Structure 1
Amino acid sequence: MVDFAEALTKAVDNSGLSLERIQHHLAARGMQVSLSTLSYWRRGRSRPERPESLKVVTALEELLDLGEGFLTDRLGDKRPRGRWVGQAMSLEDMWDSRATDLGEVMARIDRAPAASTYLSVRDRQVIGPDRREVEMHCTGIVQALDDGVDRFLAIQLADPADLGVPSIETGAPCRLGRVRGEDATGFLVAEILFDRMLRAGETALVDYRVRMRPGADSEVCDRRFLRPVGEYVLQIDFHPDAVPARCYAFTRPSLQEPETALNDLWIGTTASTHIHVRNSKPGIYGVRWEWD
């Protein structure tokens, strides 16, 4: 039996409609779905699972003149939410209702990058004397999962109280490509370009810095992984004049599942703390703190 991605691709090709026209027809029916999501479904990089997405699939069956169940019957059982390796979580898993906003911003970067994943990544968050975020410095090793990988997408979401989306700059050996940011949605999406084209299995070093525009005290910092990661370090550096009363690590498999507090974190004499995660599953990993 032809799988969902192949069936959708053939149906779209046979219809003569572009993804942009399909998106327009779906919007006329009150269904908002990003071009990147439709593209990922076609390429098998993600698949619809949430109720809202399954409604879109049903609408596609009608729009593309397919029989009832032609696409939905090819989805099979829902993906397991446990320890599965080599597959990607969907944007909906990590961003919930904001996935549509993120997909729209991603779609403004013309070419979706070939698949890659972090082997290791280190984030260093700096908190200023006013208790507000100053910047996030990110370094890591990225491995290509396909041939032809020369970039990846960095994603940052501004807090609701922020004065706007942050800015971003890169350090050697990578450079900055196209950048799309929207104050309305709070998302910043930027291409981080490698210094060479990678084949599957090859690695590249990445280095970029995100400068925040905070409008209120900061209380949390996290990283959302769509794929498993070999090693993750999150370091929080507080200003000596702004040290929180309590700090603890947390994890969350997806936004559809509850947050779990792992343990209290000790803040050292340098007003710094960190978490270290190894061989992590896809999910959300972060640090929360309380000022009083």
Structure 2
Amino acid sequence: MSDFAEALTMAVEASGLSLERIRRHLELRGLQVSLSTLSYWRRGRSRPERPESLQAVAALEEVLRLAPGELMTKLGDRRPRGRWLERTAALEGIWQDAAIDLGRTISRVERLLPVPAKYLTVRDVVVIGPDRREVELRSSAVLEAFEDGVDRILLAKTADDTDHSPGEIIAMKSCRVGRVRTDEENRLLVAEIILDRVLRAGQTALVDLSFVSDPGADSHSADRRFVRPLRHYVLEVEFHPDAVPVRCHGFTCSDPAGPEVDTGDLWVGTTASTHLVVHDAQPGITYGIRWEWE
């Protein structure tokens, strides 16, 4: 259990208030926080990160008669955004504030150099199962070589706070998985993806992959961060008919330690799916979809 979850649990128990009463107090202050969200915060299954959620934490300190900042300081640094990362340039430094030593893991992939190639378009499809947990992320991409001789790329996959592990990467078609290295301490997986042919400068290749998830709790968001500019990025989330959220919205984040920017509500259609389209995606920016179950 995190420091925040432990402090919140102790404060709630000391107050004698039920979560419903607490939710009502927040509502009277103009803050909408669901019972399930409050429960997740108490149990450490999720943590407040959005600006609205941080406002609710400040209000909780008042409702629970705590000193200002007593809960807020327990949150610590904001966790880095960008669960799925592509490597067509050096991965070192992509999470400047995350204190994750990628170099150690990458060095075990036997001296692979930065790949002289870039993605032109990427489409990610995140699949959510009936238990509200992420099943997999299917990714289809078009890759263009800068130089002659490109025959592989390097991908990194990290685990979310509630994941059991980073899961695994499976090649679907037009490529195959080569060497794979994991870093259990940092919950990181690095995989070599070998193309079906050697590219010359200006030539393109298709890369179709499945990132199999290993979640330990309900999923609440999907996002991706690129290290080079991208012409078109499409992120789609497919929900199981028995697990459709009450609200979805897009967001961006330019700093792993900074706040998310809400880019607007997203419609969940009759097929229980929603999507986000980004033109000219910029390097270092996280683009994602977040949803609320209740």
Q: What's the TM-score, normalizing by structure 2?
A: 0.66
Read off the aligned partner of 1:290 and give its amino acid letter: E
Q: Which whole-Å CA distance do the structure 2 matches of 1:88 and 1:175 have between them? A: 20
Q: Following TM superposition, by how much is the alpha carbon of 1:113 offset from its aligned partner in structure 2, in angstroms?
A: 4.1
Tell me the residue number matched to 1:96: 96
Tell me the residue number matched to 1:279: 280
Tell me the residue number matched to 1:28: none
Q: Following TM superposition, by how much is the alpha carbon of 1:199 offset from its aligned partner in structure 2, in angstroms?
A: 2.1
Cα contact 1:89–1:227 (8 A) shared by 2: no
Cα contact 1:114–1:148 (8 A) shared by 2: no
Distance 1:239 1:133, change over 3 A: same
Q: Following TM superposition, by how much is the alpha carbon of 1:259 offset from its aligned partner in structure 2, in angstroms?
A: 2.0
Q: Following superposition, which runs of at least 4 residues in structure 1 exceed 6 angstroms of deviation?
A: 87-90
Q: Which whole-Å CA distance do the structure 2 matches of 1:112 and 1:99 have between them? A: 22
Aligned length: 205
Q: Following TM superposition, by how much is the alpha carbon of 1:269 offset from its aligned partner in structure 2, in angstroms?
A: 0.9
Cα contact 1:91–1:99 (8 A) shared by 2: no
Q: Following TM superposition, by how much is the alpha carbon of 1:146 offset from its aligned partner in structure 2, in angstroms?
A: 2.7
Distance 1:173 1:180, change over 3 A: same
Read off the aligned partner of 1:118 and give its amino acid letter: Y
Tell me the residue number matched to 1:105: 105
Cα contact 1:138–1:209 (8 A) shared by 2: yes
Match of 1:289 among 288, 291, 294: 291
Tell me the residue number matched to 2:249: 248
Paired residues for 1:127-166 under 5 Å: 127-166=128-167
Q: Percent identity?
A: 49
Q: Which whole-Å CA distance do the structure 2 matches of 1:251 and 1:152 have between them? A: 26
Q: Which whole-Å CA distance do the structure 2 matches of 1:210 and 1:89 have between them? A: 21
Q: What's the TM-score, normalizing by structure 1?
A: 0.66
Distance 1:135 1:90, change over 3 A: closer
- Cα RMSD, aligned residues only: 1.9
Tell me the residue number matched to 2:197: 196
The gaps in structure 1 that reach 5 residues or longer are: 1-86
Tell me the residue number matched to 1:183: 184
Tell me the residue number matched to 2:66: none
Q: Which deviations, in whole Å up to 9, do the C-alpha atoms of 1:219-261 show, x marking residues without a partner?
A: 1111110000011000100111111111111112342553211
Tell me the residue number matched to 1:210: 211
Cα contact 1:246–1:290 (8 A) shared by 2: yes
